[in-house]
Structure 1
């Protein structure tokens, strides 16, 4: 089993350069970071985790800028968005950002995507929450055209452009792996676009059945990465009995010294099962 880290990079926590180096030095294989462009001051959408929305959600760095900084000081770790909110992103700009990060990292980018939960946030980007699933699927199809065709065009319900040239192309061909986040409603999206399913904190007792359902919908053995996993060894051990490729151990957003100490504990726990 492979082990990486999932976290929020903010202006109050460890810098992305220091974090990238630390993850690589400890033998972990990947760094996935979350995205929120902003948090509306008056929010009706309930926080999925329950209770008050943690402060880190308000302060996230742009994931492509942060991961580019980490790419510049590392050589091996995979660099993933966990997740990029495609509902809030222009597909032509995002396709260029994905390809550019893949290029500057030497082909180490993973494009983790999701539809999001904060309806007011996506509405501020002009997205109707009722059609966000169709919007995400269409934008992903448009981005695939931009990554793979020298002269790309797309005509759909939400995305429409005549033939265009867009470079750079990704180093990884046909494009960086797409890790599809979400629950059961995302399984058709996994089937259509997913190089992996990014299961968000699903407990081991529920994950095995969910993997079987997901693969039944996909019609193939889609790899599974689990996001935001506790670093407790007894929890990790439960996941090792399932058909999971990678665990992303959750790293709280803290200043550098606290983060490095916590990262040491996560790496030591992972070492027990590698």
Structure 2
């Protein structure tokens, strides 16, 4: 028996990064998984990758979803009605726009876009997951929302809209955890450090000064890897975390406890990270 055997799970932002790695782990642990993302071609490529890595996966399907649109999210969640309703949702979809800056230079439309995806998307996902869990008589469920370490500490590089959105996710997750605890529905916020994902690497680009301002705060001397976050999500989704609720689940390599990187710290990720 896998750790998620028979559970019906949704992963948003599943076409890459943490979402894709989480989908692979969920499928490997026996879950039925609905992969959601806004890009159809990216979803198709991600699904092919999952099938390659987990050829015996019971059920893995895709659904194109704009998480900032409530009717899209409602349709995504209701896709699982024929499966028996939602057991786990990982509200992971989010953006960090290249034009996001400080209070002076962040365009209003970038602020609004970031809040719509990063905050409203989590709200809609949480709302309709709870509706589904109640509808199908679930006695327990796990909702995991992707926040960030910048919800806990200031960002070394200005990204005001993103930082504000992740603070909102953290606060919202805490309140939802208290509201639904007696129903057996757990809410936890994953707080990753900057990761070696296309989202961050595209944003950093070739700006070595911007990159260094981030790397210097890692005791490990490196960015995290998406698989390291996915393993934390798997724990939060499983019954092993049955008494974990309302947490800021920080997976940051010690970043939020470190002032500067110790001299001689490694700079490459370990080679034995299990997928």
The TM-score with structure 1 as length reference comes to: 0.37
Which structure has more RCO (C-alpha within 8 Å, separation ≥ 6)?
1
